[in-house]
Amino acid sequence: MKKVNSALACIYRTLGWFPVVIINAIVVWSYFAYVIILCFDIVSNELEKGLYLVFFHLFFVMFMYSYWKSILSSPGFVPSQFFFSKEDLERYENSENPQDVVNEIAKGLPVVTWAVANSARYCGNCYVVKPDRSHHCTMCGRCILKMDHHCPWVNNCVGWGNYKYFILFLFYAILFTMYVALSSLKYFIQFWTAHSSKKSNSDLHILFLFFVSAMFSVSLWSLFGFHLFLLSKNRTTLESFRAPLFHYGADKDGFNIGTMNNIRQVFGNTTWKWFFPIFTTLGNGCTYLTSRSRNSENTGLLLSNNDDDEDSSHLSPHTPRDIQQSVYTSSTFVNGDININLKDVGSDDEEEIFHKNKLRSLYRETNENLG
Ligand SMILES: [Zn+2]
Ligand SMILES: [Zn+2]
């Protein structure tokens, strides 16, 4: 059975490249139609030709670079400390109530979201306690950090590690297709107004070039707009359909820390780097500030706060027992890692001990990352 499953997975993975091949074939053809047919065969003005070629190549390179970064970059996989140990696995498989075993394991890990009330999220395929915002992807066959969705057009999951590249891919794909459509419009009109009833091959290339680029640019706008909205709210596509569950209940804005901070979490703190497909995403992909922790006294250290952010109106002003206030008593992003200052909770209360364990684990983990 395992052999059949792995053979099927292999077939799926191979077939998964089909949409990527289609996209690349269209792009290669558009390069031929624009550069060879339009610029070299049809456009006669040297200045116009030069400008067309410069801008075309600029958008083409940025689009393809972002696209291939989305395809080839890891979306982020669950680190080893979230996996069940050999002993955990034995206890899990022999237990009458495996969820209790999972809850026990999760106590030592920095997770703040639940599957259902008081039940830690875990994956029975990967044998991991799921880090917050991670999900199992059946196409990839593993759990993905901050999973957004599995995208057939990039034959890859879109997650914490490549979300920036995916947004840039959409952005540059729109710029590229809009540019091609607008700059070929004049020659497209000439095609229809030409007196000759005989259409050459070049005319047909220009006709299709305009139609294909205009069609893609229109359809990409809705997807790009949707992801800009999600980015501004710090939501993944999956979270937009099903709100994450915190100890105080489901909250679709649970990770919303203000529009600018949300953008910086994905794109980094240096504005000019936002526009290049280089890795600048903050954090470690496993632990996230929440909207409630943002209200705690020291979270202003995390990122430069955006006090005029209108989204903060829904935030609760008092959450004294909020798990996030325990975990993130003071934090700041340092070179893509989170630096946590530990605050001793100092209580024997069971819940406090539970939170304290999470805090210690997170502290240990993040300091290891900082080396
Ligand atoms: Zn999994
Ligand atoms: Zn996937």
How much is the pLDDT for 191? 78
Helix, strand, coil in percent for the chain, rounding step 5: 55, 10, 35
Q: How far is the CA of 148 from the centre of ligand 1 (A)?
A: 14
Which listed ligand is nearest to 128 at the C-alpha?
1
How much is the pLDDT for 282? 95
How much is the pLDDT for 339? 35
Does the structure show a pLDDT above 50 at 210? yes
- Name the active-site residue from 126, 140, 151, 157: 151
**Can you tell me the mean pLDDT for 132-161?**
95
Q: How far is the CA of 205 from the centre of ligand 2 (A)?
A: 36
pLDDT 10s digits, 35-57: 999 999 889 899 999 999 999 99
Q: Rounded to whole angstroms, how far apart are CA atoms 37 and 66?
A: 26
Indicate the pTM of the whole model.
0.78
How much is the pLDDT for 127? 94
The percentage of the chain sitting over the pLDDT mark of 90, rounded to a whole number, equals 64
Q: Rounded to whole angstroms, how far apart are CA atoms 72 and 18?
A: 15
Which listed ligand is nearest to 148 at the C-alpha?
2
**Can you tell me the mean pLDDT for 265-275?**
96
Q: How far is CA 304 from CA 261, 294, 298, 336, 359, in A?
A: 8, 12, 12, 15, 23
Specify whether 151 is catalytic: yes
Regarding predicted confidence, which is higher, 12 or 363?
12
Q: How far is the CA of 64 from the centre of ligand 2 (A)?
A: 21
Which listed ligand is nearest to 143 at the C-alpha?
1
Q: How far is the CA of 135 from the centre of ligand 1 (A)?
A: 7
Question: What b-and-e string marks burial along 270-291, b requiring 16 or more CB atoms within 10 Å of the CB?
Answer: eeeebeebeebbbbbbbbbbbb
Helices (H) and strands (E) in the chain, counts: 12, 12
**Can you tell me the mean pLDDT for 298-320?**
34
Tokens read off for 150: 């599995």
Q: How far is the CA of 105 from the centre of ligand 1 (A)?
A: 16
The amino acid that residue 114 corresponds to is: W
How much is the pLDDT for 81? 92
Mean pLDDT value across the chain = 81
Q: Rounded to whole angstroms, how far apart are CA atoms 125 and 47?
A: 60
What is the residue-wise DSSP string for 268-286?
Answer: -S-GGGGGSSS----S-SS
Handedness of CA 346, 347, 353, 358 (dihedral sign): negative
How much is the pLDDT for 199? 66
Q: How far is the CA of 93 from the centre of ligand 1 (A)?
A: 17
DSSP assigned state of 324? H
**Can you tell me the mean pLDDT for 196-212?**
82
Q: How far is the CA of 140 from the centre of ligand 2 (A)?
A: 4
Which listed ligand is nearest to 129 at the C-alpha?
1
**Can you tell me the mean pLDDT for 187-216?**
83
Q: How far is the CA of 164 from the centre of ligand 2 (A)?
A: 16
From the list 293, 279, 283, 360, the residue with the least C-alpha distance to 329 is 293
Regarding predicted confidence, which is higher, 340 or 173?
173
Cα 121–Cα 123–Cα 128 angle in degrees, nearest 5: 90
What is the residue-wise DSSP string for 200-226?
Answer: -HHHHHHHHHHHHHHHHHHHHHHHHHH
pLDDT 10s digits, 68-119: 999 999 999 999 999 999 999 999 999 888 899 999 999 889 999 999 878 9
Only one residue has tokens 């498989």, namely: 93
Does the structure show a pLDDT above 70 at 313? no
Q: How far is CA 354 from CA 337, 344, 345, in A?
A: 24, 12, 11
Which listed ligand is nearest to 138 at the C-alpha?
2
Does the structure show a pLDDT above 70 at 230? yes
Helix (H, G, I), strand (E, B) or coil at 54: helix
pLDDT 10s digits, 238-255: 999 999 999 889 999 999
Q: What's the pLDDT band for 259 if we cut at 50, 70, 90?
A: very high
Does the structure show a pLDDT above 90 at 340? no
